[in-house]
Homo-oligomer: A and B are copies of this chain.
Amino acid sequence: MVATLNRLPQPTSQSVPANRPQAQAKPAAPRREKLAVIDCDIHAAMPNDATLFKYLPTRWQQHHTTFGMRGHVGGAYPRAVPNAARLDSWPPNGVPGGDLDFMRQQLLDEWDLAYGILTPLYGAGGMLNLEYGAALASAINDWQIAEWVEPEPRLRGSILVAYEDGELAAQEIDRVGDNPGFVQVLLVVRTREPLGHRKYWKMYEAAVRHDLPIAIHFGGNGGAPITGAGWPSHYIEDHGGMPQAFQPQVISLVTEGIFELFPTLKIVLIEGGFAWVPPLMWRMDQTWQRLKAEAPRVKRLPSDYVRDHFWITTQPMEEPPQPRYFEQLLTQMNMNDKLMFATDYPHWDFDAPDRALPATLPLEVRRNIMAENARKLYKLD
């Protein structure tokens, strides 16, 4: 949250515990086949309140200064990794992801990215004061265009919205949705209600109206325990258990018949992994065959909707103990046209483009995952 960013200490070598996660360094070894790379998860960050206030109306500047950000308590990042960022991602001044020149050098040029999709995590949509959240979202959106997308042709933005109110979200999508600098609408996965609920429908209507996918990113907090069995004690459980928040969202979107109501709606799942997708599809299909009378808007096998309407980013890349299990996973999932590479820059669990996918995968599959699926979905070039 912007209000606290400036108070975070700059990391020093002394502050690094022996076992803290290391950012992946670029290897010296020669690269494999040269593939285009599109990075679908880059966390641009608002460097300070002064920047925010350039885009925030006076009424909400005063609110921000006086009352600050107020949302549900939810998951948090470990403190030893300030801003959850790679140690080397701190620009000389400011915060990781807060400096375009530094990011250009460290990410866009370094890895020769064709495109990068900004996914600023600012918590605007999680504000309990929904109108304040909507004002923050608008400010962040205007900032993305003015300070990132217009100066850097390889970048595209994501529309933040006050997603807990479908109408507020729709208003913002209508306000900026025709700007070609935006390629999707961005939510976080732990919402107050499952995303199939009626309160979110106007947001989907607006997204479809502008032909923008809805992206759902790791994180957030809906005001309730983050698992179906209460609050876990550890960050490691929060991080390891994040797929448990993605699963009910997939179930809800399919079961509420969202893709019958909005047949052109596309959903992008970011940073939730994907090994859980095949077992979830099997169970949804099995349950639906027996209980479909309860949800008559669902006309097809649930897995058909998943395969048609969901795109999924790769980071954190699944790491089964046997490489062949990864190949089995891709086969079972049958969504190679929907997987999209992401680094999660500048976060500590960054996936490097040259190491993310096993070299044993067919070149065509790697090419599509590394860039072509995203190029098509986001209409890049």
Interface check A192, CB cutoff 8 A: yes
Interface check A239, CB cutoff 8 A: yes
Which chain B positions have C-beta within 8 A of A316?
Answer: 286
| Inter-chain contact A228/B226, CB cutoff 8 Å | yes
Considering the complex, which residues of chain A in the window 18-36 have a beta carbon less than 8 Å from any beta carbon of chain B? 19-21
Considering the complex, which residues of chain A in the window 224-243 have a beta carbon less than 8 Å from any beta carbon of chain B? 224-237, 239-241, 243
Which chain B positions have C-beta within 8 A of A229?
Answer: 189-191, 193-195, 222, 245, 248-249, 252
In the assembled complex, the Cα of A17 lies from the Cα of B329 at a distance in Å of 38
| Inter-chain contact A255/B227, CB cutoff 8 Å | no
Interface check A318, CB cutoff 8 A: yes
In the assembled complex, the Cα of A192 lies from the Cα of B230 at a distance in Å of 6
| Inter-chain contact A318/B282, CB cutoff 8 Å | yes
Contact with B along A41-69 (1 / 0, CB 8 A): 00000000000000000000000000000
| Inter-chain contact A236/B255, CB cutoff 8 Å | yes
In the assembled complex, the Cα of A272 lies from the Cα of B19 at a distance in Å of 35
Which chain B positions have C-beta within 8 A of A194?
Answer: 227, 229-233, 237
| Inter-chain contact B225/A224, CB cutoff 8 Å | yes
Considering the complex, which residues of chain A in the window 106-163 have a beta carbon less than 8 Å from any beta carbon of chain B? none
Interface check A73, CB cutoff 8 A: no
| Inter-chain contact B291/A239, CB cutoff 8 Å | yes
In the assembled complex, the Cα of A230 lies from the Cα of B223 at a distance in Å of 9
| Inter-chain contact B234/A295, CB cutoff 8 Å | yes
| Inter-chain contact B235/A224, CB cutoff 8 Å | no
| Interface residue count on the A side (C-beta < 8 Å) | 73
| Inter-chain contact B255/A233, CB cutoff 8 Å | yes
Interface check A102, CB cutoff 8 A: no
In the assembled complex, the Cα of A49 lies from the Cα of B322 at a distance in Å of 55
In the assembled complex, the Cα of A282 lies from the Cα of B322 at a distance in Å of 10
Interface check A247, CB cutoff 8 A: yes
Interface check A256, CB cutoff 8 A: yes
Interface check A364, CB cutoff 8 A: no
| Inter-chain contact B282/A279, CB cutoff 8 Å | no
| Inter-chain contact B233/A196, CB cutoff 8 Å | yes
Which chain B positions have C-beta within 8 A of A21?
Answer: 290-291
In the assembled complex, the Cα of A276 lies from the Cα of B241 at a distance in Å of 12
Contact with B along A311-327 (1 / 0, CB 8 A): 00000101111100100
Interface check A15, CB cutoff 8 A: no
Nearest opposing residue in chain B for A221, CB measure: B228
Interface check A328, CB cutoff 8 A: yes
Interface check A293, CB cutoff 8 A: yes
Counting from the closest, the 3 A-B pairs by CB-CB distance are: A275-B279, A227-B248, A240-B287
Please name 13 further chain A to chain B contacts, defined as beta carbons within 8 Å, in addition to the given A240-B287, A320-B332, sorted by A numbering: A19-B293, A20-B293, A78-B291, A190-B229, A222-B225, A224-B225, A227-B244, A229-B252, A233-B255, A236-B295, A244-B244, A244-B247, A283-B318
| A-B pairs with beta carbons under 8 Å apart, 17 shown | A78-B294, A194-B230, A197-B230, A224-B228, A227-B247, A228-B245, A228-B248, A230-B248, A232-B248, A232-B252, A237-B255, A239-B287, A240-B288, A241-B248, A244-B244, A276-B279, A286-B318
Please give the residue numbers on chain A whose beta carbons come within 8 Å of chain B beta carbons, in ascending order: 17, 19-21, 78, 189-197, 222, 224-237, 239-241, 243-245, 247-249, 251-252, 255-256, 273, 275-276, 278-280, 282-288, 290-295, 303, 316, 318-322, 325, 328-329, 332, 349
